[in-house]
Each structure stands twice: as structure tokens, then as C-alpha cells.
Chains A and B, each alone.
Chain A
Amino acid sequence: GAVVSQHPSWVICKSGTSVKIECRSLDFQATTMFWYRQFPKQSLMLMATSNEGSKATYEQGVEKDKFLINHASLTLSTLTVTSAHPEDSSFYICSAPLSRQPQFFGPGTRLTVL
């Protein structure tokens, strides 16, 4: 299947700092990518839809000024968690749909905010 990568796989940061997470589609182009968040023992919750060349669309309750999304190319979307706080600690996962194919997910990024 198609391959989606994420970087870094884990990150620890201090409260108040910003963290950038990258999501890449390795062998296909993705005009749309999705960002999900997963808290311990919970399922994946969609945060936002990343659209190449245009603004991201955010799900209800997700602060767009806190979770900045940039989809500058057809293979790369970035999620920046600004002024991170301990409650932002979570597992962040991206996915990229391939036309007429199921969504493939990245390996996830574990964010821990101290």
C-alpha cells in the first residue's frame, strides 16, 4: 500500500514552546491530508483537513490558531502546535487518501509537553 511517513516519531518539549510535526506521502501526491489526535485508550479524533495550496479546515472545537497547518506541497503537510501545554500531550497521526483507495496512516508522533 501507499506509504505515509511522519517526523519526528516522538518529541518532548517544555510548556510554552512550539512543536512542528511533518507528514509526508512518500510514493504518491496528496492534495488532501488529514490530522488526527489520539489520547490514551481513546480512538482517533479528526482535528483538521489539510488542503494543498489553500487554508486548512478545522473540526469543531479545534483551535486553528493553536494548531497551525501548512500544506505547501503535494507530498508534505506540517502541523505546528503553538505554545504547547501539558494538555496537548497526545499521539498525533496524519493520513493521506489516494484516489479510490483507503486512507493510509502515518506511524504517528508522540508529543509530551512538560
Chain B
Amino acid sequence: EDQVTQSPEALRLQEGESSSLNCSYTVSGLRGLFWYRQDPGKGPEFLFTLYSAGEEKEKERLKATLTKKESFLHITAPKPEDSATYLCAVQAEDSWGKLQFGAGTQVVVTP
């Protein structure tokens, strides 16, 4: 059974204090791993897709990396506007379109 585990559950950072979020996964053939950002009361906002081990994607203060067992979302010098819940999801090769989500990491960045 496909599984996605995110850690930590919650993270409190000072503005400028870099950190990393972890997403460990087990899936029978990975089609893609996705990172989303979700603000309270809103739908997930797409950040990155990673397809193969070794791949890296970057957007502003965020950088996502992928290995065969886990993915990291690095937040460099975060700002208060980076406060959100970050969701990781995997799509298996044999389940086109279906996403299996982790529980998310709630990030709070204080000024």
C-alpha cells in the first residue's frame, strides 16, 4: 500500500531561519511526487513536481529534492508570508491522476 509520511508535523521558524521539511514515501512505482502549499480555508496551491531521484526544483526561497525514498522541501531565509501548511503527495504509475497525500507540515514564520 502506498504511504506518505511528512515530518515534522509543525515547525515554528524565525524570519530568516532556514529549515527543511521531510516527505518519506513508499509507492509501487513512482510517477511523480508533488509539493503543494495550502493556506487556511483554501485549496492546495501547486509548487513542484519531481519525477526521478536526483531531481531538484527551485522557486524563490523554496527548493525541492528527491531521492528514491524521500523528498525534502528546503526553505531558505523564510519570510512570514511563507507561513502555510506544506503538503507532499505521490502519484503511482498504475493510478493515473490519483494522489496520495501526506498529513502535511504546518509552518509558522515569525518576524
The total of interchain contacts (Cβ-Cβ below 8 angstroms) comes to 50
A97 in contact with B97 given A107-B43, A108-B42 (CB within 8 Å): yes
Does A75 reach chain B (CB closer than 8 Å)? no
Task: Say yes or no: A93-B103 contact (C-beta < 8 A), given A32-B97, A43-B87, A103-B97.
Answer: no
A1 interfacial by beta-carbon distance below 8 Å: yes
Separation of A99 and B45 alpha carbons in the complex (Å)? 18
In the bound complex, residues from chain A placing their C-beta under 8 Å from that of B25 are none
Which residues from B are CB-within-8-Å of A104? 46
A111: min CB distance to chain B, Å = 13
User: CB distance B103 to A46 under 8 Å?
Assistant: no
Provide the bound-state CA to CA distance between A6 and B42, in Å: 11
Count of chain A residues near B, Cβ 8 A: 23
Known pairs A32-B97, A49-B98, A97-B97; A42 contacts B42 (CB<8 A): no
Q: A67 an interface residue at 8 Å Cβ cutoff?
A: no
Residues of A within 8 A of B46 (CB): 1, 102-105
The distance from the CB of A43 to the nearest CB of chain B, in whole angstroms, is 4
Sample 30 A-B pairs with CB under 8 A, ordered by A number.
A1-B46, A6-B43, A34-B97, A34-B98, A34-B99, A43-B87, A43-B102, A43-B104, A44-B44, A44-B89, A46-B99, A49-B98, A91-B41, A93-B43, A93-B44, A95-B99, A102-B32, A102-B34, A102-B46, A102-B49, A103-B34, A103-B46, A103-B99, A104-B46, A105-B45, A105-B46, A108-B41, A108-B42, A108-B43, A110-B41
* A-binding residues in B (CB < 8 A): 32, 34, 36, 41-46, 49, 87, 89, 97-104
